[in-house]
A and B are shown apart, each in its own frame.
Chain A
């Protein structure tokens, strides 16, 4: 357990964050963009738990931060999917390029 330095866990979470960022930049479909946001939030959670475990093992704050992030991510996904389905009803498409009424 102690043979893994903290930096390696941070490598994984950083790589996951930028994978999510790449998906957010290239995808034009709202559901896949939402998936990329979920990846980014998960990478942040890994960071919180790893810092809590490696640097402050006598506290529980990182655990609580990840719990609240998971809760807020669930609420965010539910609202986002309601909006996406409503947009599909009115536009017949969930591509971000097709929803430009409020762009300029």
Chain B
């Protein structure tokens, strides 16, 4: 076992350990921090696989963008020191069983599949190649998904603005009308408190 193998196993143990902590911690802020460490571990795995560009994108987008967004929303919506309720024991047991059986099934398939022998030539990812392929109009170019993703990002941006926009005062009455669910609901739940201004 050489150094690269040892580094791989350390990185893998780090990713899986922090991932398990992220989904089992009862404090939501700690959960976000464990998720942050897990994502950094995945970036380290990309560095280990020598795809530095993906690793950089992973750090910039996930660690710098998504986790910060999640932490902001935790601060806006939660008392971050409070403990979340533990999951119900029955649901917990069934979730563990489903995850374990699913993992056993998938890994059984993977371990029995005969992958073709690993290619011998080195895997070199040139950022210039990625840029050329991304905007190439030829047969193997990715310009159509690129444009689609740019449209998707624009739509997501506009959608976030529309969702977060405050409704003007004079249109308030038309939009909020509490739903009459007394006939439909089988198990009536206590009506959650509605704010005056949506």
A residues at B contact (CB < 8 Å): 1-8, 10-12, 14-23, 25-29, 31-32, 34-36, 38-39, 42, 45-46, 49-50, 52-58, 60, 63-64, 66-68, 70-79, 81-86, 88-94, 98, 100-101, 104
Contacts and interface: CB of A to CB of B under 8 A. Distances in A.
State the 5 A-B residue pairs at the shortest beta-carbon distance, nearest first: A23-B23, A25-B95, A75-B156, A57-B123, A26-B87
Contacts of B100: 18
A55 B2 CA distance: 22
Interface of A is mostly: helix
Contact of A11 (B57, B110, B118, B192): B110
Contact of B23 (A2, A39, A88): A39
B16 A15 contact: yes
Given A67-B130, A74-B65, 10 more contacts: A18-B99, A20-B19, A27-B87, A31-B77, A42-B42, A46-B42, A57-B123, A70-B58, A86-B164, A91-B193
Given A60-B125, A81-B69, A85-B73, A39 B19 contact: yes
Contacts of B72: 81
A101 B193 CA distance: 13
Contacts of A101: 179, 181
B4 A1 contact: yes
B23 A49 contact: no
Contact of A84 (B23, B77, B102): B77
A11 to B, nearest CB: 6
Given A19-B16, A63-B51, A55 B156 contact: no
Interface of B: 1-2, 4-5, 8, 12, 15-16, 19-20, 22-24, 28, 31-32, 35, 38-39, 42, 45-46, 49-51, 53-54, 57-58, 61-62, 65-66, 69-70, 72-74, 76-78, 84-85, 87, 91-92, 94-96, 98-100, 102-103, 106-107, 110-111, 115-116, 118-119, 121-125, 129-130, 133-134, 142, 145, 149, 152-153, 156-157, 159-160, 163-164, 179, 181, 184-186, 189, 192-195, 198
Interface of B is mostly: helix
Contacts of A8: 8, 12
